[in-house]
Structure 1
């Protein structure tokens, strides 16, 4: 009986549920059959009769006060939206203006034509906004610092480079070079991904203006979300969703000495659906490099010296084209491409002198090299933003690069005195490199405090280097088999990561794990020598922060990083420009791994910001870049894995705006390291230290003139085989705004005192080596003109980092 009663109860409940669902279904059908009502009009500022762009228009249910639908106005103030209910109010609002609500209007044939809607300024609200919300501020997060861009910058029309110059720990010099905590090895991302806009192929960042930017994220110790390959940090520029900004751009013309001539045109056109960007550039430059070497054989008491100047002369052409297509408010597709073509000439002349107990010889070696370098890259990205949370997103991206080089060189040795050293050589190089990166990233905030990130990345790198050396023997060119080969390099890296973060009002923690599998193959084709490596590694990360106050935060970070040998580290065939000092790669070189720990104190004292940190880094299979072997007065140097390195250091950087016309930006780094290992059967165990300092002063002079001077210093330090000398140099720049700020005259001088000299010594029992190189002073003068909201900026092509 009880079973029967239970069965009846269940049946009754299911009937009630069925009736309830049917009622909902019929209600939905009934609502869907209501006709949609179209609403149009234009929002105008009452005192000036100017259109108000991006004003908010909402359809409001009068009984519940809930928002039913909404939109924002166009550049001309016009709007259009639809309502699926017949009884509603229409609300208009914009920052700094009084909100206006319409309750009485006429519906004719399913249309509401409102005509012109006037909004009045709200002086009280406007005052509050200026005081509380319009100043750019830095916000501290778990593993990053966020610089939110306020009206003090976004209303000026400044470029992204100018904005970055206001971000703590970031410095942009007058030439546009970006550094983070004093180091230029920084990766620039746009909306969390690599982009052609931010690549070294040009300087298209100047086409992004401050009012297009929402915030800048600075990451000094990247989490497991990012590549395990080490960098000095990441700067991530987040753009606003609204893209209706019109035409922006700049044109630039530069001349300099040594010869440096270039012209660049950057354009950016933003509409409601599309963001079109492009850049054209052409130029010609000469890059001299003075070199001196000493090779001393201590066993045979002989000395070989060389002195000369090498040139790299380049003509280059560059074009960037791309677009962002906004399918709707939550879905964006980006497609862009870049093509560059370089024509190189590399003339050089080196004088040699050889002295021993029985000989004193002098000869001259000249080089004539010609090369063509085609380069191109592409970018494809799809981004989906979910409506439940502003940070809930999915991103798929593909980035590809290709670089080629066809080069031929002729070398001629001419005897000047002593033993006959006459010789003729020629080389041929056919180089091709293709790199493709595919990424999938997903971010899911579960609430305001918990966030999950996950994704995968696949990087494919394929390289072929066909290098041939020929010697003229008895009037016939004969291939030198010892220096000729085809080197092939294939490296594929598959990575998967996941992070989870909790962030409260004061304290937060973020943990992550990245798993990467590396498949590496190298092959010397002519000799069939191969080196295949397949290894998997775990890269954990941990970050925590505590906010003591709005002005002081403490951040703790740990991450495991890897440096995988590049092609030039592995390729045994490189160049014979100086055939007594030959650099080669090492196909058997292994990756080095670093565990990095960092504790940083972040202070904000008024307008000044200071960061003081301590760090510890432990590196295994540490790569020493120049390990020399010496035979017959020939120095052959290549990279080798030499043991481990323990480095402990302190770091300080700060930005202090003394007043409106004077800003100081300084960086200081000191580290004490211990090297342990084995080289040629001899144990290596030594302690050394090194410190670097950098101070930049930015001065605003009368007549809209900006003056900037930067001093750099790097101390000398001990190496496995010898010592590297100290290095110091000074750069300065001068900028004058003209044509109501749309035009800019630039003067930059790099290495003002021609003091940037690189010297190193190798000191061994059987030989001594000395190397010195210097590029000298570079002076560039340029004129730039910005139009639309574009900032006048310097275009200097694909800068070569010195």
Structure 2
């Protein structure tokens, strides 16, 4: 038994142990009882957002706390015993009483007296509330989305958005940073409800790593968006909500992180709120080193040697070498630095009107060094022997790359409330600019002899304007009409310059420039209502798309000027039925569109090296999907369960075609194409369970079937040098799984640790076989300095098993690819919190453009 087999067995047993420990913990915990009550003032009026702390006289492990709601009510589960009950609220004196809790029930009203001075806020006492009054539910289910709160995610502390997404229900992150939902990677990202320059880097993995985990308030998972959302993103939408303070006075936190591979960062979240004005500043930076490896083995079939060709014939031209086998092994070291800062303010002009203004700047700089060794077996024609002879060569390639990205974004918003019945209007404007430069130097050696040196310079500039207006009109007690308009105007400029030390006719085609312009106009109308236990929401969205592409090539190809226009209707239907107070059935349908990325439509768009080239497809069209979901939601004090059956049917589905233009070479081209249909159906199950005060469980299971149809055809040159037509069959079907379990153990009120197990099942098609993958992560967190600080430690991929292995099949070759994007990493982070004021009531405050608490296209939410 080799080392890999031992690690695989040990890893699987450890994953199983996580489940076993969690199940065993159920049997040995103490039974809790449900307690409820209210907090009132001396006039017997309810006090909202008061903290109620139950301190057990026997053991601190049994203590717990809660915040009252808008009606002054609270609920919590505690073990029977003797408790000191502490009640605190802004502008009120602290109150402490003793009570014996013997059974479940309502303990009645707890009364507190106001302070003599309404501005006397005891921030020192309130700091303890921040520690103890944590949300017991890491995610919640709503009519059209799920909301995930990463505050209790110990494993991602000090990490990035990519680390947080690895723990979000219904979401998985591949080894190369590719994000998928329910097995499909066509995910639309939003920041605070809109596209953002924060995710404007072409490299998706770098983009995810540029947003610190400590700046994320929550993530909204929208698997089947309504008509109020933009229609792109056929797999769904991930809306990243960044932190904004909800407390008066000066508040903030600073987080520093050290890790290995060298991983350092320092981030701060600061805010100041007084009267009608709120200021905020978020920013920081980090340095990261990484090392990934890639192994590729290619075996070529059906070798045809044209020995009947007469080399003395005047029509004879020397063919290129005909490959039979190739083995490549590469290691890539990368170094990156990123900095970001966001500042802004919100001003309440009146009780009904507020304005907000914010600005953001982000920089990303990265260096990479890749060393590749390639063993090539091939046939070469020998004029002396008048025959094709087998040869073996060793090719070495050193690639050094430099890329940098600079992004700016400015946002303005105006919110007005016409009355107290919910009639609102919101206007917003966002201006974004993103500039990216990528330089690569590629040197090749054959049998230790210098062959060629290629230099590639690619530059892109992206400018975006987004304008929106949203209107809400309540109708009666249970109905609402919503309408809105949105305009997106994008201008993208791409330039590419490639030079070489050899005369290579292909190089010229990668010297080009492209101007890509697109404009989207969208209108939506949505009506929601509830009759008894039955709720419904009907919506219709109309999107008009206009795309213009001006492509200029210096390699001999003619210029291309093309225009594409689309006008599509996107309906959505949401139905819900409350079986009981805590049980709900959800049924919904929506139609979505997958528009090609602008970068995918630029011919000859990316030259990384002559053997692996990505080309755009100017004829690429959108694909469309019809999505259905049937869900059932159960929410209790100790657990939530949300099983969902889903089905998605896609037409003109976008696929990546990997092919050879010339079968006499080992050069591979990757090109996006429209191909056939794709069907996905399955069960998406998410749950949380808090059996005891010291144990929390969160898990997800996605079992899905897939069926793909379609055959791609392309122009090629066969092994004899004759033009022909090649084909690749994408047809395939099967069943795959995604599974995740998080187990959090609370040792005491200040110390917790967390285990996370992840599994991704294998997936097959006619031309590709992707193997399964599993990983285990560990995190620990300790509160220090009387609640002002937290120290966290985590290990990502304990057994170094997070990798991807794919076998690809074609009529003339078989290819194996193994890739590990990130090896095992660990880090330690330290958080320091400044004095923090109590939360103020937000129910009557209007929304701002930078916080989308509602998760819809309106970009709203409290500051």
In the superposition, the TM-score normalised over structure 2's length comes to 0.69
Question: Which structure 2 residues correspond to residues 783-802 of structure 1 after superposition, within 5 A?
Answer: 783-789=830-836
Aligned-pair CA distance for 1:315 = 2.0
Deviation of 1:569 after TM superposition, in Å, equals: 2.6
Q: Which residue matches 2:716?
A: none
Q: Distance in 1 between matches of 2:221 and 2:265?
A: 32
Q: 1:698 to 1:171 in 2, by over 3 A?
A: farther
Measure how far apart 1:282 and its partner are.
2.4
Which consecutive unaligned segments of at least 5 residues does structure 2 have? 1-40, 51-69, 74-90, 111-125, 158-163, 173-178, 180-186, 200-206, 304-322, 380-389, 714-726, 839-863
- Residue 500 of structure 1 and its aligned partner are, at CA, apart by 0.9
**Equivalences for 1:189-338 in 2 at 5 Å?**
202-203=211-212, 206=215, 219-230=222-233, 232-233=236-237, 245-300=248-303, 302-338=324-360
Matched, 1:713 2:759: yes
The alpha-carbon distance between structure 1 residues 118 and 766, as it changes in their structure 2 partners (threshold 3 A), is: closer
Matches within 5 A, 1:178-197: 178=165, 180-183=168-171
Q: Check conservation: 1:207, 1:248, Cα contact below 8 A.
A: no
Alignment of 1:452-531 (within 5 A): 452-473=481-502, 480-526=507-553, 527-531=558-562
Q: 1:539 to 1:132 in 2, by over 3 A?
A: farther
3-state SS of paired residue (2:130): coil
Shifted more, 643-652 versus 163-172: the winner is 163-172
1:752 is the counterpart of 2:798: yes
1:18-67 deviations in Å (ceiling 9; x for gaps): xxxxxxxxxxxxxxxxxxxxxxxxxxx999xxxx9999xxxxxxxxxxxx
Q: Kindly tell me: are residues 401 and 752 of structure 1, through their superposed partners in 2, closer, same or farther at Cα, counting changes over 3 Å? A: farther
Cα pair distance change 1:238/1:685, threshold 3 Å: closer
| CA offsets 1:268-303 (integer angstroms, 9 cap, x no match) | 111111111112312211122211112332133611
Secondary structure of the residue aligned to 2:596 is coil
Decide whether aligned partners of structure 1 residues 160 and 537 sit closer, same or farther in structure 2, where only a CA change above 3 A counts: farther
2:242, 2:444 → 1: CA distance?
56
In the TM superposition, residue 399 of structure 1 has moved relative to its aligned partner by: 2.2
Asked if 1 retains the 8 angstrom alpha-carbon contact of 2:48 and 2:72, the reply is no
Alpha-carbon shift at residue 192 of structure 1 (Å)? 6.3
Q: Distance in 2 between matches of 1:326 and 1:160?
A: 29
Query: Contact 1:243–1:274 (CA<8 Å) still a contact in 2?
Result: no
Structure 2 CA distance for partners of 1:777 and 1:740, relative to 1, 3 Å? same
Q: Structure 1 residues 518, 315: CA separation in 2 closer, same or farther (over 3 Å shift)? A: same
Which ranges in structure 1 are unaligned for 5 or more consecutive residues? 1-44, 56-92, 97-116, 135-152, 792-802
Q: How far is the alpha carbon of 1:467 from its aligned partner?
A: 0.9
Give yes or no for contact 2:369–2:399 (8 Å, CA) kept in 1.
Answer: yes
Q: What pairs up with 1:10-159 in 2 under 5 angstroms? A: 156-157=129-130
Cα offset for 1:267? 0.5
What is the CA–CA distance in structure 1 between the aligned matches of 2:684 and 2:276, rounded to whole Å?
45
Distance 2:815 2:479 in 1: 58
Q: Work out the CA distance in 2 between the residues paired with 1:742 and 1:194.
A: 35
- Listed as ranges, the matches of 1:631-670 within 5 Å are 631=662, 632-670=665-703
Question: CA shift at 1:699, angstroms?
Answer: 1.3
Q: Which residue of structure 2 lines up, in the alignment, with residue 383 of structure 1?
A: 415
Q: How far apart are the structure 2 equivalents of 1:656 and 1:555?
A: 21
Given that residues 46 and 119 in structure 1 are in contact (C-alpha distance below 8 angstroms), is that contact kept between their aligned partners in structure 2? no
TM-fit CA distance, 1:594:
0.6
* Aligned mate of 1:430, from 459, 469, 473: 459
Conservation of the 8 A alpha-carbon contact between 1:297 and 1:633: no
Residue 38 of structure 1 aligns with which residue? none
Residue-by-residue CA offset, 1:194-226 (whole Å, 9 max, x unaligned)? 789999664487597xxxx9xx98754221011
Alpha carbons 1:425, 1:469 under 8 Å: kept: yes
For 1:780, the equivalent position in structure 2 comes to 827
Q: 1:691 aligns with which of 707, 730, 737?
A: 737
Give the C-alpha shift of residue 394 in structure 1. 0.9
Q: Which residue of 2 aligns with 1:349?
A: 371
- C-alpha distance in 2 between matches for 1:530 and 1:129: 73
Give the superposition deviation at 1:411.
1.6
Q: For 2:442 and 2:194, locate their aligned partners in 1 and report how far apart those are by CA, in whole Å.
A: 44
Pick closer, same or farther for the CA change 1:422–1:739 going to 2, 3 Å.
Answer: same
- Alignment check: 8 A CA contact 1:543 1:556 kept: yes
Which of 465, 477, 480 aligns to 1:448? It is: 477
Contact 2:729–2:766 (CA under 8 A) maintained in structure 1: no
Moved more, 747-756 or 173-182: 173-182
Deviation at 1:574, TM superposition (A): 4.8
The 8 Å contact of residues 648 and 680 in structure 2, kept in 1 or not, is answered as yes
Q: Residues 217 and 503 (structure 1 numbering): CA distance in 2 closer, same or farther, change over 3 Å? A: farther
Question: Structure 2 CA distance, aligned partners of 1:588 and 1:561?
Answer: 20
Report the 3-state secondary structure (helix = DSSP H, G, I; strand = E; otherwise coil) of the residue aligned with 1:157: helix
Contact 2:456–2:608 (CA under 8 A) maintained in structure 1: no
CA offsets 1:755-796 (integer angstroms, 9 cap, x no match) = 1111212111112222221021121111111112299xxxxx
Provide Cα deviations, 1:599-635, integer angstroms capped at 9, x if missing partner: 0011124410001111111100111134433531111
Deviations 1:725-783 (A, max 9, x none): 21222222111111112211121222221111112121111122222210211211111
Aligned to 2:704: 671
Counterparts of 2:72 and 2:563 in 1: how far apart (Å)? 62
The question of whether the paired residues in 2 share the 8 Å contact of 1:249 and 1:790 is answered with no
SS where residue 549 of structure 1 aligns?
coil
In structure 2, C-alpha distance between the alignment counterparts of 1:790 and 1:462, rounded to whole Å? 44
Give me the TM-score of the superposition, normalised by structure 1. 0.74
| Structure 1 Cα separation of the partners of residues 611 and 133 of structure 2 | 47
Secondary structure of 2:700's match? strand
**Higher RCO (C-alpha 8 Å, min separation 6):** 2
TM-superposed deviation, 1:383: 1.0
Query: Using a 3 Å threshold, how does the CA distance of structure 1 residues 131 and 516 change in structure 2: closer, same or farther?
Result: farther
Displacement of 1:571 after TM fit? Answer: 3.3
Shift of 1:567: 2.8
C-alpha distance in 2 between matches for 1:164 and 1:396? 33
SS at match of 2:600: helix
Change (3 A) 1:131 1:338: farther
Structure 1 191/671 Cα, relative in aligned 2: closer, same or farther at 3 Å?
closer
Distance 1:248 1:188 in 2: 29
Alignment of 1:714-753 (within 5 A): 714-719=760-765, 721-753=767-799
- When residues 205 and 500 of structure 1 are mapped into structure 2, their CA distance, relative to the original with a 3 A threshold, is farther
How far 1:522 sits from its partner (Å)? 2.4
Any idea what SS the aligned residue of 1:638 has?
strand
Aligned to 2:401: 369
Q: 1:702 to 1:502 in 2, by over 3 A?
A: closer
Distance in 1 between residues matched to 2:640 and 2:92, nearest whole Å: 44
- Change in CA separation of 1:401 and 1:471 when aligned onto 2, cut-off 3 Å: same
The answer to whether the 8 Å contact 1:183/1:232 transfers is no
**2:308 counterpart residue number:** none
Residues 222-278 of structure 1, C-alpha deviations (whole Å, 9 max, x = no match): 2101111125445697999x9661111111211111111111122011111111111
Contact 2:442 2:609 in 1 (8 A): no
Distance 2:242 2:255 in 1: 26
Q: Distance in 1 between matches of 2:478 and 2:749?
A: 49
**Deviations 1:393-432 (CA, angstroms, capped at 9, x unpaired):** 1111122322212232222112335xx5621111112211
CA 1:373–1:289 in 2, change beyond 3 Å: closer, same or farther? same
Report the counterpart of residue 585 of structure 1 in structure 2.
616
Query: Conserved in 1, the CA contact under 8 Å of 2:292 and 2:331?
Result: yes
Distance 1:219 1:643, change over 3 A: closer
The 1:435/1:280 distance shift into structure 2, 3 A limit, reads same
Matched residue SS, 1:360? strand
Mapped contact 2:127–2:835 kept (Cα < 8 A): no
1:204/1:266 contact within 8 Å kept: no
